[in-house]
Amino acid sequence: MKDDPIEHVLDDLMRLDDILACMVARRNMISVMPSGEGFKPEVNQIWDVIKRAMDDVFTVIREYSGAGLGEMEFRLQEYEVLFYIFPDTENALVAIVPALANKGLLEVEMENARREILKSMNISEKEKLLATV
């Protein structure tokens, strides 16, 4: 199976202590997950409610992504969920972090990850186009 560059980006994020889970997702669908051991265990206990809240946020993302919505976040119990939206799409890079994490530092690496993923997406779009020519 071909290595997925987006998986690699997510694997890199998961190696940061305060990233408890990350994924590329849209409403009702996780498109890419990290390839390793998956999410960190503390997320499991709250995953169902976070997932439901995430789907509601994706409704907003679908509505306003075209208008330039860039990021969203919400805090649920002791966790924060960050959405870094891919411009003009319904997709976002999502990360779950502890509410007391140094979010500023994580934001920098989230943005680097979003840029890397966008680059990969653009490359695969170009490859698709070339294949159809």
Nearer to another protein, 8 or 27 (CB): 8
Phi–psi pair at 22, nearest 5 degrees: -155, 155
Token code pair at residue 21: 């889970």
* CB-facing half-sphere around the CA of 73: CA atoms within 13 A: 15
CB of 49 to another protein, least distance (A): 23
Does residue 15 belong to the site contacting another protein (CB under 8 A)? yes
Q: CB of residue 104 vs another protein: minimum separation in angstroms?
A: 4
Instruction: Restricting to residues 17-46, name those near another protein by CB under 8 A.
Output: 17
Residue whose structure tokens are 């409610």: 49
**Cβ nearer to another protein, comparing 47 with 98:** 98
Would you count residue 68 as binding another protein (CB under 8 A)? no
Taking the C-alpha atoms of residue 39 and residue 115, their distance in angstroms, rounded to an integer, is 22
- Length of the chain equals 133
- Give the nearest distance from C-beta 74 to another protein in angstroms: 16
Whose tokens are 């997320």? That residue is 43
Position among 16, 46, 57, 76 found at the interface with another protein (CB under 8 A) = 16
